[in-house]
């Protein structure tokens, strides 16, 4: 199924946003841009006893799917590999919204939720996925660093979750105070929140001074559109 044939975000029974539905975004491109800007996804999984867990993972988007990996020794990841239904979420926090009441105070955010089940990648697909995840999280690093050994590859479980069924929600407005609160003599507004990379710190076991790679110096966190 091509991207254009997939259902628009938030249009299936399971992804229809019912709380604050006006913040729903039905554009798949917006959802993909949020995924491309994030680094950490949270994935739900239920163990053999029925206990639910939410696992943070580094990830990368590959077209109409999300790729992530974990240990082959993890019982939670083995459950995902067996086809257990899951929910993956990515949230970007863009600011704190200070209304004149605590009830109306909130946050500016962009979020994606994906529902489905994972497939296991092997062979060349697995190798390509490991490269894509590395390049999403550490752009430029794959060409310079040592690639996974056979032993390391065997210890790594790489999963793909199709983005067939997703919802996208964006909150980016100013405070929405009740009319009777507007005259209260307190400040109201938005405090933007931005992620940024700091100055690189050398590893203590560098055998000789190495310059920080140019590709690392070029890393920048994108601002919200």
- Closest by CA to 153, choosing from 135, 129, 132, is 129
Q: What is the pLDDT of residue 110?
A: 96
Q: Is pLDDT of 12 > 90? A: no
Ranges 29-43, 89-103, 203-217: which has the least confidence: 203-217
Rg (Cα) of the chain, in Å, rounded?
21
> In the predicted model, what is the mean pLDDT of residues 78-89?
95
What's the average model confidence in pLDDT over 124-135?
A: 97
Res. 112: pLDDT tops 90: yes
Name, in order, each residue with C-beta under 8 angstroms of 74's C-beta and a sequence gap of 6 or more.
157
Average pLDDT over residues 20-27: 78
Judged against a pLDDT cut of 80, whether residue 39 lies above it is answered with yes
Q: Is the pLDDT of residue 128 over 70?
A: yes
Could you tell me if residue 15 is left (phi over 0), alpha (psi between -120 and 50 degrees) or otherwise beta?
alpha
Query: For 86-103, what is the mean pLDDT?
Result: 97
Higher pLDDT pick, 221 / 111? 111
What mean pLDDT is predicted for residues 86-91?
A: 97
Q: Per-residue pLDDT averaged across 13-40, rounded?
A: 86
pTM: 0.92
Q: Taking CA 164 as the corner, what is the angle to CA 82 and CA 34, rounded to the nearest 5 degrees?
A: 105
Q: Tell me the two tokens of residue 200.
A: 């690189």
Picking from 20-29, 86-95, 146-155, 204-213, which range would have the lowest pLDDT averaged per residue?
A: 20-29
Q: What does pLDDT average to over the chain?
A: 93
pLDDT value for 225: 66
- Assign domain 3-174+201-217 to its CATH architecture: Roll (2.30)
Contact 77, 120 (CB under 8 A): no
Q: What's the start-to-end Cα distance of the chain, in Å?
A: 29
Dihedral of alpha carbons 78, 81, 84, 85, sign: positive
The DSSP call for residue 173 is -
- Dihedral class, residue 50 (left if φ above 0, else alpha if ψ from -120 to 50, else beta): left
Q: How far is CA 205 from CA 42, 151, 201, 202, in A?
A: 33, 24, 12, 8
Q: Is the pLDDT of residue 1 over 70?
A: no
């Amino acid at each position: 199924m091509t991207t254009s044939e997939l259902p628009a975000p938030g249009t299936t029974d399971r992804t229809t946003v019912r709380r604050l539905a006006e913040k729903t975004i039905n554009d798949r491109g917006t959802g993909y841009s949020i995924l491309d800007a994030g680094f950490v996804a949270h994935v739900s999984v239920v163990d053999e006893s029925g206990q639910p867990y939410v696992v943070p993972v580094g990830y990368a988007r590959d077209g109409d799917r999300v790729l992530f990996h974990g240990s082959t020794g993890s019982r939670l990841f083995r459950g995902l590999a067996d086809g257990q239904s899951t929910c993956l979420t990515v949230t970007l926090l863009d600011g704190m919204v200070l209304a004149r009441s605590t009830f109306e105070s909130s946050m500016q955010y962009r979020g994606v939720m994906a529902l489905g089940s994972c497939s296991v990648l092997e062979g060349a697909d697995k190798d390509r996925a490991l490269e894509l995840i590395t390049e999403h999280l550490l752009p430029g690093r794959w060409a310079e660093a040592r690639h996974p050994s056979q032993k390391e590859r065997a210890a790594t479980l790489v999963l793909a979750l199709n983005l067939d069924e997703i919802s996208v929600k964006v909150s980016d407005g100013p405070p929405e105070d009740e009319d009777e609160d507007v005259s209260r003599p307190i400040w109201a507004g938005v405090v933007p929140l931005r992620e940024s990379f700091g100055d690189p710190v050398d590893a203590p076991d560098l055998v000789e001074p190495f310059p920080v790679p140019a590709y690392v110096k070029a890393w920048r966190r994108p601002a919200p559109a």
